[in-house]
């Protein structure tokens, strides 16, 4: 089958196989997969990952085969895949903190083969391939009314961004929000802040073309930060002289971590979503945090996949979370190079690969 394999070069291959599913694993025929910046980060070395690896971790498709002990997922089900392979048996899982399960991070699965040699799947999934094999509980059954071309975004961008707002920062009605970076992650933060009834949603992006999508999703203000050398001052000039209650860093740059902290009002919370190069440090004034300010790390939106993915699906079906509008272009698998160039050039809300 076809798949995109990174081994120091980006290869579009047609000789990728999956392994046979184990008793609790399922084979999913991937229909669509979103291109997240984290895939690009594997290629440019920002996120180290062993090779060869099938890229892609934001996918949706149809269950094609199930292992002998699978009970919750059936052949033909429409599913969104989650990267979390949490165990369901540890204290973190019992507390409802799936992203803190020690089994859920750093699992290096090799459920692909080329010529009989094992191949990794990125982030426990590997969805830039026509099929992938995952644990039964990584395949979340969704209402088939959601087009898979939109549903795929739920698997990373949406749970990460919306989860950061709803699960981690817990934005309350009336609070003020700053979102730095309006890519797929930032767009999901904006929408969840709107659903949380934030009173102001200020979005800053260096790409002025992101104004339209930010405003369509609920931004009350947009700052073209390429024109704003002092972003903190630009935020405060919007009638927010005390700062904001929440700042979300959705780019992955240490200078923007500092901005996000400096833009906070007393008692404010800064949530870090962007992933800079491994080893990157950020600096800030310790005194600046004095008035009960907080910095929160946030992996994968502190998501509980079996709770949050159906929630997003319901919000979509109710017309409250816009997924279709996040997809600006669809690409054939062979055009991954174009998709990555368009992402880097800031042309996309989200680009989606078609594999059906
Ligand atoms: N925490 C997590 O679990 C998690 C999950 C997925 C992705 N990520 C990370 O989130 C980040 C964003 O991912 P994405 O897919 O949304 O990326 P993206 O490339 O789609 O969007 C990034 C946006 O940031 C803007 N930007 C770039 N530099 C900027 C600057 N200096 N100031 C303001 N805006 C700027 C770009 O114009 C673009 O709109 C990446 O670092 C990615 O690795 C984290
Ligand atoms: Zn991602
Ligand atoms: Zn666990």
Regarding whether 275 and 166 lie in a shared domain, the answer is yes
- Of the candidates 281, 299, 317, which is a domain's last residue? 299
* CA distances from residue 243 to 58, 187, 226 in whole angstroms, order as listed: 34, 21, 20
Structure tokens at 318: 């109710």
Give the separation between CA 199 and CA 201, rounded to whole angstroms.
7
Regarding whether 139 and 16 lie in a shared domain, the answer is yes
Query: Could you tell me which residues are beta bridge partners of residue 53?
Result: 6, 120
Place of tokens 């945090």: 289
Regarding whether 308 and 268 lie in a shared domain, the answer is no
Running DSSP on this structure, what letter comes out for residue 129?
B
Q: Is residue 100 lining ligand 1, measured as CB closer than 6 Å?
A: no
Running DSSP on this structure, what letter comes out for residue 166?
I
Give the separation between CA 220 and CA 186, rounded to whole angstroms.
14
- Residue 346 CA: nearest ligand 1 atom is 37
- Of the candidates 276, 299, 322, which is a domain's last residue? 299
Regarding whether 290 and 226 lie in a shared domain, the answer is yes
Regarding whether 23 and 75 lie in a shared domain, the answer is yes
Give the separation between CA 99 and CA 95, rounded to whole angstroms.
11
pTM above threshold 0.95: yes
| Number of neighbouring beta carbons within 10 Å of residue 319 | 7
For the chain, what is the domain count? 2
In the reported structure, the alpha carbon of residue 146 is separated from the centroid of ligand 3 by a whole-number distance in angstroms of 29
- Residue 275 CA: nearest ligand 1 atom is 41
Would you say how long the chain is, in residues? Answer: 356
In the reported structure, the alpha carbon of residue 286 is separated from the centroid of ligand 3 by a whole-number distance in angstroms of 35
Give the separation between CA 338 and CA 14, rounded to whole angstroms.
19
Q: Is residue 160 lining ligand 1, measured as CB closer than 6 Å?
A: yes
Regarding whether 62 and 114 lie in a shared domain, the answer is yes
Regarding whether 7 and 142 lie in a shared domain, the answer is yes
Sign for the CA dihedral angle at 163, 164, 169, 174 comes to negative
The residue among 99, 38, 84, 98 whose CA lies nearest residue 297 is 99
Regarding whether 315 and 247 lie in a shared domain, the answer is no
Regarding whether 124 and 179 lie in a shared domain, the answer is no
Strand 25-34 and strand 59-66: pairing?
Answer: antiparallel
Regarding whether 247 and 137 lie in a shared domain, the answer is no
Cβ partners under 8 Å of residue 117, min gap 6: none
| Number of neighbouring beta carbons within 10 Å of residue 298 | 21
Strand 200-205 and strand 176-180: pairing?
Answer: parallel
Regarding whether 144 and 185 lie in a shared domain, the answer is no
* CATH number, residue 117: 3.90.180.10
Query: Which residues crowd ion ligand 3, with CB under 5 Å?
Result: 86-87, 90, 93, 101
In the reported structure, the alpha carbon of residue 291 is separated from the centroid of ligand 2 by a whole-number distance in angstroms of 33
Q: Is residue 315 lining ligand 1, measured as CB closer than 6 Å?
A: no
| One-character DSSP codes across 3-64 | EEEESSSEEEES-EEEPPP-TTEEEEEEEEEE--HHHHHHHTTSS---SSEE----EEEEEE
Q: Is residue 259 lining ligand 1, measured as CB closer than 6 Å?
A: no
pLDDT string in tens for the chain (356-residue length): 999 999 999 999 999 999 999 999 999 999 999 999 999 999 999 999 999 999 999 999 999 999 999 999 999 999 999 999 899 999 999 999 999 999 888 779 999 999 999 999 999 999 999 999 999 999 999 999 999 999 999 999 999 999 999 999 999 999 999 999 999 999 999 999 999 999 999 999 999 999 999 999 999 999 999 999 999 999 999 999 999 999 999 999 999 999 999 999 999 999 999 999 999 999 999 999 999 999 999 999 999 999 999 999 999 999 999 999 999 999 999 999 999 999 999 889 999 999 99
* CATH number, residue 209: 3.40.50.720
3 state SS of 350 = strand
In the reported structure, the alpha carbon of residue 19 is separated from the centroid of ligand 1 by a whole-number distance in angstroms of 33
Q: Is residue 272 lining ligand 1, measured as CB closer than 6 Å?
A: no
Vertex 168 angle, CA 323 and 33, to 5°: 30
Regarding whether 284 and 151 lie in a shared domain, the answer is no
Q: Is residue 36 lining ligand 1, measured as CB closer than 6 Å?
A: yes
Burial 37-74 (b: 16+ CB within 10 A, else e): bbbbbbeeebbebeebbbbbbbbbbbbbbbbeebeebe
Domain that holds residue 56: 3-157+302-354
């Amino acid at each position: 089958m076809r798949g995109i394999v990174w081994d120091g070069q980006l290869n579009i291959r047609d000789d990728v196989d999956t392994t046979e599913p184990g008793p609790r694993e399922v084979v999913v025929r991937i229909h669509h997969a979103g291109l997240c910046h984290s895939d690009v980060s594997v290629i440019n070395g920002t996120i180290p990952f062993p090779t060869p690896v099938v890229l892609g971790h934001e996918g949706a498709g149809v269950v094609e085969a199930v292992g002998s002990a699978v009970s919750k997922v059936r052949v033909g089900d429409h599913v969104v895949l989650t990267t979390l392979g949490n165990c369901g048996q540890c204290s973190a899982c019992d507390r409802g903190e799936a992203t803190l399960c020690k089994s859920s991070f750093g699992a290096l699965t090799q459920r692909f083969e080329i010529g009989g040699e094992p191949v990794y799947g990125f982030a426990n999934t590997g969805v830039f391939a026509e099929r992938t094999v995952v644990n039964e509980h990584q395949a979340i059954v969704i209402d088939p009314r959601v087009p898979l071309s939109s549903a795929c975004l739920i698997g990373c961008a949406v749970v990460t961004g919306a989860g950061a707002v709803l699960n981690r920062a817990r934005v309350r009605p009336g609070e003020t929000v700053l979102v730095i970076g309006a890519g797929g992650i930032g767009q999901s933060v904006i929408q969840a802040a709107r659903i949380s009834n934030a009173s102001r949603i200020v979005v800053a992006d260096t790409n002025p073309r992101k104004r339209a999508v930010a405003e369509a999703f609920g931004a009350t203000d947009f700052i073209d930060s390429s024109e704003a050398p002092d972003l903190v001052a630009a935020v405060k000039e919007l009638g927010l002289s005390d700062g904001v209650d929440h700042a979300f860093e959705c780019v992955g740059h240490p200078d923007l971590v500092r901005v996000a902290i400096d833009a906070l009002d007393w008692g404010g919370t800064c949530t870090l979503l962007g992933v800079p190069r491994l080893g990157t440090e950020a600096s800030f004034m310790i005194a600046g945090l004095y008035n009960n300010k907080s910095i929160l790390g946030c992996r994968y939106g502190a998501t509980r996949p079996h709770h949050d993915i159906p929630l997003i699906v319901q919000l979509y079906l109710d017309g409250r979370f816009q997924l279709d509008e996040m997809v600006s272009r669809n690409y054939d698998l062979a055009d991954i190079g174009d998709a990555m160039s368009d992402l880097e050039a800031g042309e996309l809300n989200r680009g989606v690969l078609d594999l059906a």
